[in-house]
Structure 1
């Protein structure tokens, strides 16, 4: 039992630290996931949506700190109780997502290791079992260092986590695991694999001798049957899904995606929602646009907001460019800054910048 508890201790502790650090690298991304959970379509806790970011920061830092506390044996009762309550909460979320098909990716490991809800649920069930084993055998968990030093270790870890959170919020994630990282060609990222399409079966409904009969085929209606009542396609196997599958650039109902991705030296201002854009960043856009155009860049803006909002914002903050419409989720994925900058060359992302850093962005 002592050996089993030590295994549980190290496995759970390391996994919590790893999971927390991955999300700490991108707390905005985790806050978007919490916002999705709190929405009316999932848990109906809309009153918590404005708190998604502070909750995300607290949870990821607490996750890392609990993992360290478990490994060094600090405040073991508080640590294991906290781990148990946290994993019960996460298990409920992943079960709910899986059972009711509400959230396609739980965000447990950010964009680094995407998990479908069922995989996340199984992972949480395993962690629950391991934590319960430790809960009933706390006597085997002893401090690794002198008790007087443990609190200073936790203090240093906590300060370190807050420093990382502050840095990535004021700039960009240290590691970019998303489909739009620097060096990616967007057109290539959207390409489908013709050799790996979705596989469908077709259910043909017939009324024979007053009874409904269903016959499945891979395409054409079965031979030897009367006229069918209806046919319904059914997905049997999901084919290749390109890493970028929700990106488009439109204006007034016209698609400009291919045209813009074919050009050299494009500077893209990204503001996924103009009403939520940070005013200090918007004030910086005028100087950046002038600098980019002087360097030979064509400047355009992508937003999910309306054209009237765009005109109002440009008038208020004193800059001018052409706004195009792009899906809000795609824009949130491209860059964790509102506004943010992305530089393109023939569809390849050559640089990204938080609005805090646009003055030093090389053009």
Structure 2
């Protein structure tokens, strides 16, 4: 019985850690954005420049520890590693839930979004299972001969870290974000007819002017009791609003594109029936200069030969963008949007999107964007 429980804990925890690590290492840049949120909460923003490295290492560590647990290699070190890691994650998810600071933990990346309380509950279950593993670490039996197991363990380190650097440098294998290839952006922003919105409950704080009695009532109780007709009762302060039922939420809710004068160009850009090239650079201070030069040459050729509209989309200030345009002699029009949707569009800075009628025809990391000849052959030549 005891051996069976240990095996269950070992397989369940190991596979879950491998799955969680693989989901996040598919998009280490996205997980690094989540780490930066935590850095801001704990006032350690000086670590932001190391966020990507921490992201890759944490994701790789989950895969390595999970794999090592399953094959039974270095049982004592793995048990300690799992225990320390789950205590760390449980602290973060509890802090997020209790103080409402980071509303999605990123435990399973953008593939399976969890609320902070759901994440904390998951971590508590894992903590209990890992405690079983920790107490019985002496009884963990390896699946392979010592040399074979050690080689597999070292291979898992190389593969996990290598995957992280590969996906960071060349974009995720699987795109779980709303701006995936083939998505029509205007459609992703719509709420279908008949879809129910979020439902909220209001709580009123009441006080009796004669007796001083205080009472809290929901909006339904307030109306049904007719207490509002009694002049002795008054509402004190603002009512509290609480979400009681989650309604339909479009996949894209925060995209608004404007020019430097804050004129809205969202509909105009998304309704263009011809190809347009979007260069997405949410943070111009971190944008790769060599990539910008290559993209500017591509934009110049497409504009000259095919009258293609090319835009630079950024969350920088107009003054910063103007200096950037002057520095690199950019020919693209400049538009502005919030940094959150820009980070979701392309996991690259800069990233490139080819848009037609609001549909994302294709998108690229700046390391993989095709040259002019291949772009023309694949998209602009009549077939």
Name the TM-score, length of structure 2 as normaliser. 0.89
1:158 Cα deviation (Å)? Answer: 2.0
1:140 Cα deviation (Å)? Answer: 2.5
Greater CA drift, 160-169 or 194-203:
194-203
Residues 70/215 of structure 1: CA separation in 2 closer, same or farther (3 Å cut): closer
Whether the 8 Å contact between 1:288 and 1:358 is mirrored in structure 2 is: no
State the match for 1:126 in structure 2: 125
CA distance in 2, matches of 1:203, 1:6: 49
3-state DSSP class of the match of 1:36? helix
3-state DSSP class of the match of 2:347? coil
Per-residue CA deviation, residues 24-69 of structure 1 (Å, 9 max, x unaligned), is 1110011111111011xx2222222221111111111111111111
State the match for 2:245 in structure 1: 237
State the match for 1:257 in structure 2: 266
Per-residue CA deviation, residues 84-112 of structure 1 (Å, 9 max, x unaligned), is 11111111101111111111110011001
Aligned pairs for 1:159-308 (under 5 A) are 159-193=158-192, 194-204=194-204, 205=206, 207-211=208-212, 212-218=214-220, 222=226, 224-226=229-231, 228-229=234-235, 232=239, 234-235=241-242, 236-251=244-259, 252-264=261-273, 265-293=275-303, 294-308=305-319
Whether the 8 Å contact between 2:56 and 2:165 is mirrored in structure 1 is: no
State the match for 2:352 in structure 1: 341
1:203 Cα deviation (Å)? Answer: 4.1
Name the count of aligned residue pairs: 361
CA distance in 2, matches of 1:88, 1:130: 12
CA distance in 2, matches of 1:213, 1:98: 28
1:292 Cα deviation (Å)? Answer: 2.9
CA RMSD of aligned residues (A): 2.0
1:215 Cα deviation (Å)? Answer: 4.3
Whether the 8 Å contact between 2:293 and 2:328 is mirrored in structure 1 is: yes
CA distance in 1, matches of 2:202, 2:76: 57
Whether the 8 Å contact between 1:282 and 1:339 is mirrored in structure 2 is: yes
3-state DSSP class of the match of 1:32? helix
Whether the 8 Å contact between 1:288 and 1:359 is mirrored in structure 2 is: no
Name the TM-score, length of structure 1 as normaliser. 0.93
CA distance in 2, matches of 1:318, 1:274: 14
1:318 Cα deviation (Å)? Answer: 2.4
Aligned pairs for 1:27-42 (under 5 A) are 27-39=28-40, 42=41
Whether the 8 Å contact between 2:57 and 2:161 is mirrored in structure 1 is: no
Aligned pairs for 1:38-53 (under 5 A) are 38-39=39-40, 42-53=41-52
3-state DSSP class of the match of 2:367? helix
For structure 2, the 5+ residue unaligned runs are none
CA distance in 1, matches of 2:58, 2:219: 49
State the match for 2:368 in structure 1: 357
